[in-house]
Amino acid sequence: MAAPLHAAPAARALQPPPAADPAAAGGLSLEARLTAVEAAMSVRLDEAAVAYEVNTAHIDTEPVDLADVITVPLTPTLQPPPQPSTPQPRTPVAALLERARARMDADGWCAGALRDESGSVCLLGAIRKEAGGDRGLEADAASVVLDAIRRRFGDHVDSAPSFNDAHGSGRIPLRMLGEAASMADAKGL
């Protein structure tokens, strides 16, 4: 009976390679050749790292939140809508910040002013509008927003207005109002 055709290549693969003569390989030992290859690879990896940094220096590195990437299906489902997983804020500051978030979401976001001519609001404009003249509550809410911003983006942020004005859209300031509401509720403010 004849051996299967696929056995021949496997048998050849099991044979040891012919003995390498150091003199035939340029007189270098295996260790010397491996050292030379390692040095060459290190140079190539360093060059690739520099090329990567140069090629990606223009890319904006603003953190991406998965909540901004996930989309809602276009077709309606037959199931009832899910209930909110987070409880509604129970503290006065948390409730004010949640109303301010809803206000900014409804009226739109602006930079450089508390409110622009089209009715859009900034972080503090939304808080002031929803505080209804209660300056103490407004100050507490603004303080919590700044704490939430600094917790997320670092202590180098000077103020909530400068943070608001540093963005090109209201996506992140709006999200920070929601995070500040959760923070205020957790602190019992």
Is the confidence at residue 41, as pLDDT, over 50? Answer: yes
Dihedral sign for Cα atoms in the order 11, 13, 16, 17 = positive
pLDDT bucket at 158, cuts 50 / 70 / 90: confident
Domain limits, the chain = 92-187
CB 127 within 8 A of CB 102: no
Q: What is the pLDDT of residues 47-104, one digit of tens each?
A: 998 888 888 877 766 666 666 666 666 665 566 656 665 556 578 888 889 999 998 8
Contacts of 188 (CB under 8 A, 6+ apart): 91
Looking at residue 18, what is its pLDDT?
54
Backbone angles phi, psi at 170, to 5 degrees: -90, 5
Can you tell me the distance from the alpha carbon of 178 to that of 184, in angstroms, rounded to the nearest whole number? Answer: 10
- The whole-number pLDDT of residue 35 equals 93
